[in-house]
Structures are given as structure tokens and as C-alpha cells.
Structure 1
Amino acid sequence: MSCLVLLNKPYGFLSQFTPEGRWRGLADLIQRPNVYVAGRLDADSEGLLLLTDDGALQARIADPRYKLPKTYWVQVEGEPTEAALEALRRGVRYADFTTQPARVRRLSEAEVAPLWPRDPPIRFRKAIPTAWLEIIISEGKNRQVRRMTAHVGLPTLRLIRQAIGAITLDGLQPGTWRETASSYADLAG
């Protein structure tokens, strides 16, 4: 069995062990030797990041050919219309590519109530409402979720990866991690 580390990456940390510029590195959070990041999460995003000591497992987690679903909770600026949600579900077309269809639903206040506050807090404007969406994708182009929501007029204010396949953030507070023995079959559910 491979070692799989589940980390709740806080805002402001890179998906690498060394710091760069104003962003901190994972070495400030985890001192587990011989594990490597499987996939990435931008410094301004939060949530589930997987690390493993198994190169084959690392590739299967990160490579979009395996279509491992990734679940994001996204706080957006504005009030999502059904047309905007449907556009996200169909796939968003850009000059250089079209995203694959996504599963999208609006999250209730009760669902997001247990979330931790972000440090630093998101910008807040009284006159402009915000909403939370759950977006599930199986590809992972650079800043894809942020680009998708912006394309439909809903800029992303906060992005939290909740799950990769069947592995979730449940029970992990920001900056904490746990180790488990795992295989790709465990991830795929």
C-alpha cells in the first residue's frame, strides 16, 4: 500500500515545499519525508491537497486522463442565474479550449456554515451579494474554476477543494493533515 497524505491547504501556501515570493511553502505545514504533491492547488485557493510516496499513484491522481472528479466549493460575487449555472454545466468555451461539462449546484447557507473563516477575509461589498456553488470537474486546466465562473459573470471570491474522488476534507482543519494507506481504487470510490 502507498502512503497518502491528506492536507487541508490554507490560503497563502503554494503546492510545493519551498516558499516563493510572498507565498509560503508546504514545509511550514508538514514534515513528512519522501512524499510529493499529487496535483496542485493555487496559493490563493484552499482545501484538499494530496501527497504520496508512490509515483504511479501521484500520476493517476494528477493526470486528467483518469477523470478523477474534483469537487470545489466556490464563493462567487453576484447572484447566480439558472442560465449561468446551465452554462457552467454545459462547458465554457474560450478561444483556446472548451471545458468539459461540469456538475454544478448552488449550496445552501446551512451547508457552508461549518466552513472556517478565511485569513485574510475576502473582500466584502454590501451592495453586491455573494453565493456558494459546488462545482465538480474531471479536468484541471490552470485556474479553470476561476475562469469558468468569471466567464459567466460570477467572479470567484473564495475557492475550496472539498474532495478528490472519494477522499474528502472531512475532519481536517486548515493547516492540518493525516496519513493513510491508500490505493487508486480507494480514491475512485
Structure 2
Amino acid sequence: MARTKQYFIIYKPFKVLTQFTSEDGNPGLGTIFDLPRDIYPVGRLDLDSEGLLILTNDKGLNSALLNPKNSHQRTYWVEVEGIPTETSLDALRNGLEINVKGIYHTLPCEARLIESPALAERDPPVNYLKHPVRSWMEIRLVEGKNRQVRKMTAKIGHPTLRLVRVGIEDLSVFPLQPGGITQISEKVLYKKLKLI
């Protein structure tokens, strides 16, 4: 009998691994969510990153979403040290060289300064005494190399303090809060991801 495909979106909290098992003292998703054994994350978010993650038992979705040829746009809200200039933002937009197993030239992306978003406080919060001057950016990418956004902001001289993935194509993490989960239908999910 064919298993029923299931789809969930979650708001992965800070310092939680993108796997169900805990490791090296870091909690896994299994410490927060009680889901069937065949459900797994599509893609990943770094331990230090927060936000939108899709969980499913649909292997077809995994290959469709992670295939670089499909160029799915991912939206991140990024709190950085300092305030990037328009010249620095242009460097991000035009693509720059970062180290990803050797020198890699990032694809063009969208980058702009935004007002401080109304997000739940991170636990633990950013050390604002250590980083008194901060700003928020919205970055939209169609690729997802390892720690790419962090490497990009560091390259322009504005290290990332907080990184939240808020969307993939038309799929948004909101209104979920950190640790939140909701089930979504295949049709709605595929439509929001522009796979149909």
C-alpha cells in the first residue's frame, strides 16, 4: 500500500540541528516535534540559523526543490554588524567571491536594507552591547551553498549576527513562531513553491 504523502512547515529555532537526533550537546528537531519516522527535512538550515524548513516523506519534492536547475528563490532576513552602503549592497547584488571548498562566485541576488522586523526575540539574544550598531537586510538568493549568506555579508565587511529564512518562493514561515509547526496540503505547497 502506498504511503500517504505528508507535508509540514516549521520555524526552526536558533541552535537546533536540522536533523531529528541530537548531537554534540545540540538538540535535534526530535526534541521539539513528534512526527512519523518517515518524515525528514528538505534541505537544511545551519545550527545558528532560524526559520522556514519543510518536512516531508515526499522524495520527489526533495529532488525538485534542491535541484540547482530549478533556481528556487529563498528569502532571508539578516541582521548584520554595521550599516552596509549602497556600494556594499551592489557587491552582493552583482555576485562576489566566497570560499566554498575553493573560490566560488555567487550568482546575482536581490539585497536591500529593511526596517527592523517584528520577530520573536532569539534565545539567547544577540549581544547588543558587543554589537551596538546593527542593521537588517533582506537577501533573496536562488542558490544555497554552505553558509553562503554569512560568507557574503562577511565579505562586504558586515558579519551576520542573526539569520532567518522567511520564505521559499511564495511559501512563508509566518505566522509561525520559533518552534511552531503546521501541516500543509501537497497542492498548496507545490503551488507556493511554483512546482505546478
Matched residue SS, 1:88: helix
SS in 2 for 1:73: strand
Q: Runs (4+) of structure 1 moved beyond 4 Å?
A: none
Which of 70, 73, 90 does residue 69 from structure 1 map onto? 73
Residue in structure 1 matching 2:174, options 170, 173, 186: 170
The Cα offsets for residues 33-67 of structure 1, whole Å up to 9 and x where unpaired, read as: 12111000001100001111110101212232211
CA distance, structure 2, for counterparts of residue 182 and residue 165 of structure 1: 15
List per-residue Cα deviations over 1:87-117 (Å, max 9, x = no partner): 00001113521000111111113xx0x2110
CA distance in 2, matches of 1:63, 1:32: 26
- Are the counterparts in 2 of residues 88 and 104 from structure 1 also a CA contact under 8 Å? yes
Question: Any conservation in 1 of the 2:153–2:160 contact (CA below 8 Å)?
Answer: yes
Instruction: State the percentage of identical aligned residues.
Output: 42
What does 1:126-137 align with in structure 2 at a 5 Å threshold? 128-137=132-141
C-alpha contact (below 8 Å) 2:81/2:131 kept by paired residues: no
Q: Quote the residue 1:107 is aligned against.
A: 114
Q: Does 1:21 align with 2:15?
A: no
Cα distance, 1:13 vs structure 2: 0.5
For the aligned residue pairs, the C-alpha RMSD in angstroms reads 1.6
Contact 1:51 1:58 in 2 (8 A): no
Gaps of 5+ in 1: none
TM-score when normalising by structure 2: 0.90
Unmatched segments (≥5 aa) in structure 2: none
Distance 2:40 2:11 in 1: 15
For residue 27 of structure 1, give the secondary structure of its aligned residue in structure 2: helix
Once the two structures are TM-superposed, the CA of residue 185 in structure 1 deviates from its matched residue by 3.4
Cα distance, 1:17 vs. partner? 0.4
Q: Secondary structure at the match of 2:157?
A: coil
